[in-house]
A and B are shown apart, each in its own frame.
Chain A
Amino acid sequence: EAGVTQSPTHLIKTRGQQATLRCSPISGHTSVYWYQQALGLGLQFLLWYDEGEERNRGNFPPRFSGRQFPNYSSELNVNALELEDSALYLCASSLLTSGANVLTFGAGSRLTVL
């Protein structure tokens, strides 16, 4: 069974540009989560999608946005890139059944903003 796949693996952008990151969940998983992992800050929750709808978002500005497609894959868009957006962006999926649901993570997309 294929795991959670993310693309691209690495992405280099300059300030003010836009970045698009993509995620394919495990087959059968309907929930997709996005986290930002910046150096020394652990994982910061960005967005949660379930059944095509945005269910919750973390404490990030509106220039961080995304969507979930009918096949449950998802993309994260970051507009007007700033230097501090440089981080590893992790996507995870789960079969949402309870608060004890386990997330399965992809390897991440490393975004570097110059």
Chain B
Amino acid sequence: AQSVTQLGSHVSVSEGALVLLRCNYSSSVPPYLFWYVQYPNQGLQLLLKYTSAATLVKGINGFEAEFKKSETSFHLTKPSAHMSDAAEYFCAVTVWGGSYIPTFGRGTSLIVHP
């Protein structure tokens, strides 16, 4: 069975600073990996996804993530944080040939200070 672990339930950064949200996955077969964002009082929306086409994936709002098989990681980064980036971020995994049900991490709350 697949799983994801998000390190850090809260990450605090200053506006303009680098954002780094960590996600490690566990899967015995090639994974598909996703990052979703949840703004207050809203559902989740897709930021980006990895489907084996390229290891560096660019998403919306300036976010990107790099798939590193050797480290079983899919960390999310953004060079410069904006106040509007404050939200809950979820990493998720599905696997090739498996069920189509994404398994989500527990989420990381990004706090952006002025």
- Using a CB–CB cutoff of 8 Å, the interface residues on chain A facing chain B are 4, 31, 33, 35, 40-43, 45, 48, 56, 90, 92, 94, 96, 98-108
Q: What secondary structure prevails in chain B residues at the interface with A? A: loop
Total interface residues on B, using CB and 8 Å? Answer: 27
Please pick, from B44, B95, B100, the residue contacting A90 in the complex, using a CB distance under 8 A: B44
Cβ contacts A to B, 9 pairs, < 8 Å: A41-B106, A42-B104, A42-B106, A43-B107, A90-B44, A96-B100, A100-B32, A101-B94, A105-B43
Please pick, from A33, A90, A105, A107, the residue contacting B41 in the complex, using a CB distance under 8 A: A107
- Using a CB–CB cutoff of 8 Å, the interface residues on chain B facing chain A are 9, 32, 34, 36, 41-46, 49, 51, 90, 94-107
Question: Known contacts A42-B107, A107-B42: does B102 contact A100 (CB below 8 Å)?
Answer: no
Q: Which residues of A contact B107 (CB under 8 A)?
A: 42-43
Known A-B contacts: A43-B107, A56-B99, A103-B46. Give 20 more (CB < 8 A). A35-B104, A42-B107, A45-B101, A48-B101, A90-B43, A92-B44, A96-B100, A99-B32, A99-B94, A99-B100, A100-B49, A101-B94, A101-B100, A102-B34, A102-B49, A103-B102, A105-B36, A105-B45, A107-B41, A108-B43
Bound complex: CA of A101 vs CA of B51, how far in Å?
10
